[in-house]
Amino acid sequence: MSVIWAVLQKDLRVESRSKIVTSQVLPFALIVLILFGLALDADRAALRSFTPGLFWVTVLFASTLAVQRSVAVESETNAFEALRLTGAAAWQVFAGKACALAVQLLAVEAVLTLGVIIWYRSAIANPVLVVTAALAATIAIACAGSLYGVLAVGEGVRDTVLPLLLLPVLTPVLVAATRAFDDGINTAAVNGWSWTLLLGAFAAAYAVVGSLAYAVVMEDA
Partner 1 sequence: MPEPVAANAPARSPEGHAGVGTGSTGTRILGGLVLVGLVVVFVLAFFVTEPDLVQKDIVRMLYVHVPIAVVTLYLSVAVMAVASLMVLWKRSMWWDTTAAAAAELGALFCGLMLVTGMIWGRPTWNTWWEWGDVRLMTSLVLFLMLIGYLAYRRMLVDPMARARRSAVLALVSSLNLILVNRSVEWWKNRTLHQESSLIEGKLEDLTLFTLFLAILVFVGLFAWLMIHRFRVGWLEYQSETAGLDIALAERRAQASVDVDEAVQHPKVEPGKQT
Binding residues for partner 1 (CB under 8 A) = 147, 151, 154-158, 161, 164-165, 168-169, 171-172, 175-176, 179, 194-195, 198, 202, 205, 209, 213, 216-217, 219-220
Nearer to partner 1, 26 or 54 (CB): 54
Nearer to partner 1, 115 or 200 (CB): 200
Nearer to partner 1, 96 or 163 (CB): 163
Cβ atoms within 10 Å, residue 174:
18
List, in sequence order, the alpha helices (H) in the chain.
2-18, 20, 26-39, 44-75, 79-85, 90-119, 127-151, 161-169, 171-184, 192-218
What is the closest distance, in whole angstroms, from the C-beta atom of residue 15 to partner 1 in the complex? 25
Q: How long a stretch of residues is the chain?
A: 221
Cβ atoms within 10 Å, residue 21:
24
Cβ atoms within 10 Å, residue 112:
23
What is the closest distance, in whole angstroms, from the C-beta atom of residue 140 to partner 1 in the complex? 10
What is the closest distance, in whole angstroms, from the C-beta atom of residue 49 to partner 1 in the complex? 16
What is the closest distance, in whole angstroms, from the C-beta atom of residue 155 to partner 1 in the complex? 5
Nearer to partner 1, 108 or 144 (CB): 144
Nearer to partner 1, 141 or 198 (CB): 198
Tell me the CA end-to-end span of the chain in Å, nearest whole number: 23
**Is-contact 93 214, C-beta < 8 A?**
yes
Nearer to partner 1, 81 or 220 (CB): 220
Rounded CA-CA distance 65/28 in Å is 9
What is the closest distance, in whole angstroms, from the C-beta atom of residue 158 to partner 1 in the complex? 6
What is the closest distance, in whole angstroms, from the C-beta atom of residue 164 to partner 1 in the complex? 5
Handedness of CA 65, 71, 75, 76 (dihedral sign): positive
